[in-house]
């Protein structure tokens, strides 16, 4: 009787998983493709959703309910709404609308926490203070607990110390994790800067710190600003622009070459969040592709 033939043990090659098709036969199967369940993280890009409103009044009237909706969704999902405000003149119109009914009563102010995306390094009472503008036009008119408001600087100490203190406040609030703002309200300067991150400054490439404080040569002023890692971690980044004065720079930024050191707003590439440009028609007048 012929000796019982030992069944060939199937040698698993590194490259191929082998499975017998017929008794003893071996079918080489192609190496499995990428795991469909591992969502490939898309490379963050500068690609704002453009929202155009016919007039400045409608820009603010129609954006206020959106802010309220983001706030309510944040509170429903996480029990709080973390908002960062910017300076400049554009937000004034939105602040006024946020104090109007029905938005004022529908926004969950008691669960709202307010930070700033940037600030001038001046006393809180200074006319240049972003905090003072927000306090006068919005925060003093809504039922937000004082303890929920986190001014960026009061102008004391050095601007670098102010930045590091604010970073400490963020670490305390966010439990040492990367701060994730539910809504980050921003603007664009006529030179394409955003927050207090100006063309050509080294702070554009800051990735170690969440907050920087430095002397802005262009303005001859000390400024404090969140850095792009934090700005880009936001769930919703809402950039408000209004008026013909923005039109030429907006065309450069949207239709010109990608040159973020020259146009820092092009560094806004949310990791997972949404980037929205909310504008009036005058600001978009020079765009070749009407949004
Ligand atoms: C600031 C800013 C700044 C502002 C733009 C737009 O404190 O100055 O936060 O980034 O958003 O300069 O300013 P306007 O709204 O006045 O156009």
pLDDT, tens digit (0-9, with 9 covering 90-100), for 198-214: 999 999 999 999 999 99
Which residue did the predictor score with more confidence, 7 or 224? 224
Q: How do residues 137-183 score in pLDDT, each as one tens digit?
A: 999 999 999 999 999 999 999 999 999 999 999 999 999 899 999 99
Q: Is residue 240 part of a domain?
A: yes
Shortest-distance Cα residue to atom 11 of ligand 1: 187
What percent of the chain is modeled with pLDDT above 70? 86
Structure tokens at 49: 């959703």
Q: Is 169 within 8 Å of 82 (Cβ atoms)? A: no
CA of 187 to the centre of ligand 1 (A): 5
Whole-number Å distance between alpha carbons of 139 and 102: 16
Whole-number Å distance between alpha carbons of 278 and 242: 8
What are the DSSP calls for the chain, one per residue? -PPPPPPPPPP--SS--EE-SSTT--EEPPPP-S-TTSPPPPPP---PEEEEESSHHHHHHHHHHHHHHHHHHHHHHHS-EEEEE--SSTHHHHHHHHTSTTHHHHS-GGGEEEEESEEESS-TTSTT-HHHHHHHHTGGGS---GGGB--S--S-S-HHHHHHHHHHHHHHHHTTSPP--SEEEEE--TTS-BTTB-TT-GGGG--S-SEEEEEETTTTEEEEEE-HHHHTT-SEEEEEE-SGGGHHHHHHHHHS---TTTSGGGG---SSSEEEEEEEGGGGTT-SS--
Q: Is 103 within 8 Å of 65 (Cβ atoms)? A: yes
The mean pLDDT value of the chain amounts to: 91
Shortest-distance Cα residue to atom 1 of ligand 1: 87
**Residue 130 beta carbon below 6 angstroms from any ligand 1 atom:** yes
Whole-number Å distance between alpha carbons of 284 and 50: 10
Confidence check: pLDDT of 95 > 90: yes
Q: Is residue 206 part of a domain?
A: yes
pLDDT the model gives residue 39: 62
Atom of ligand 1 nearest to the CA of 240: 15
Q: Is residue 201 part of a domain?
A: yes
Atom of ligand 1 nearest to the CA of 119: 7
Q: Is residue 33 part of a domain?
A: no
Shortest-distance Cα residue to atom 14 of ligand 1: 88
pLDDT the model gives residue 24: 55
Whole-number Å distance between alpha carbons of 183 and 74: 9
Shortest-distance Cα residue to atom 5 of ligand 1: 189
Structure tokens at 50: 């453009």
Q: How do residues 30-66 score in pLDDT, each as one tens digit?
A: 666 667 666 666 789 999 999 999 999 999 999 999 9
Q: Is residue 81 part of a domain?
A: yes
Confidence check: pLDDT of 123 > 90: yes
Q: What is the CATH number of the domain that holds 241?
A: 3.40.50.1360
**Residue 248 beta carbon below 6 angstroms from any ligand 1 atom:** no
Establish how many alpha carbons lie within 13 A of residue 40's alpha carbon, considering only the half-sphere containing its beta carbon.
6
pLDDT the model gives residue 12: 46
Atom of ligand 1 nearest to the CA of 91: 15
Tokens 């702070």 map to which residue?
203
**Residue 86 beta carbon below 6 angstroms from any ligand 1 atom:** yes
Q: Is 233 within 8 Å of 180 (Cβ atoms)? A: yes
Nearest to 153, CA basis, from 179, 113, 119, 184: 119
Confidence check: pLDDT of 187 > 70: yes
Q: Is residue 186 part of a domain?
A: yes
pLDDT the model gives residue 28: 63
**Residue 65 beta carbon below 6 angstroms from any ligand 1 atom:** no
**Residue 264 beta carbon below 6 angstroms from any ligand 1 atom:** no
**Residue 112 beta carbon below 6 angstroms from any ligand 1 atom:** no
Confidence check: pLDDT of 17 > 90: no
Confidence of residue 25 (pLDDT cuts 50, 70, 90): low
Atom of ligand 1 nearest to the CA of 90: 15
CA of 118 to the centre of ligand 1 (A): 9
Whole-number Å distance between alpha carbons of 156 and 125: 12
Whole-number Å distance between alpha carbons of 145 and 182: 18
Domain hosting 199: range is 49-284
pLDDT the model gives residue 218: 86
Q: Is 113 within 8 Å of 80 (Cβ atoms)? A: yes
Which residue did the predictor score with more confidence, 268 or 26? 268
Which residue did the predictor score with more confidence, 4 or 31? 31
Confidence check: pLDDT of 10 > 50: no
Q: Is residue 4 part of a domain?
A: no
Stretch 248-265: mean pLDDT, rounded? Answer: 97
pLDDT the model gives residue 16: 46
Confidence check: pLDDT of 19 > 80: no
* Domain count across the chain: 1
Confidence of residue 259 (pLDDT cuts 50, 70, 90): very high
**Residue 218 beta carbon below 6 angstroms from any ligand 1 atom:** no
């Amino acid at each position: 009787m012929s000796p019982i033939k030992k069944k060939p043990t199937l040698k698993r090659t590194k490259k191929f998983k082998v499975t017998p098709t017929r008794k003893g036969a071996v079918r080489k199967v192609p190496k499995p493709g990428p795991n469909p369940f591992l969502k490939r993280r898309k490379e963050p890009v500068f690609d704002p959703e453009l929202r155009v409103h016919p007039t400045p009044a409608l820009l603010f009237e129609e954006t206020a309910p959106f802010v309220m909706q983001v706030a309510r969704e944040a509170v429903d999902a996480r029990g709080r709404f973390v908002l960062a405000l910017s300076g400049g003149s554009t937000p004034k119109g939105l602040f006024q609308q946020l104090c109007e009914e029905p938005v004022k009563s529908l926004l969950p102010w008691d669960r709202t926490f307010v930070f700033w995306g940037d600030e001038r390094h001046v006393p809180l009472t200074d006319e240049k203070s972003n905090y003072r503008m927000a306090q006068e036009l919005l925060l003093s008119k809504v039922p937000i607990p004082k303890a929920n408001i986190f001014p960026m600087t009061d102008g004391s100490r050095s601007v670098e110390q102010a930045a590091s203190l604010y970073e400490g406040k963020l670490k305390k609030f966010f439990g040492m994790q990367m701060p994730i703002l539910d809504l980050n309200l921003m603007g664009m300067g006529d030179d394409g800067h955003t927050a207090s991150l100006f063309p050509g400054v080294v702070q554009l490439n800051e990735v170690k710190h969440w907050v920087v404080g430095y002397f802005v040569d262009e303005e001859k002023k000390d400024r404090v600003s969140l850095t792009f890692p934090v700005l880009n971690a936001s769930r919703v980044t809402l950039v408000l622009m209004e008026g013909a004065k923005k039109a030429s720079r907006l065309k450069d930024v949207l239709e010109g070459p990608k040159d973020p050191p020259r146009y820092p707003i092009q560094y806004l590439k949310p990791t997972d969040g949404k980037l929205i440009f909310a504008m009036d028609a005058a600001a978009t007048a020079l765009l070749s592709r009407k949004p």
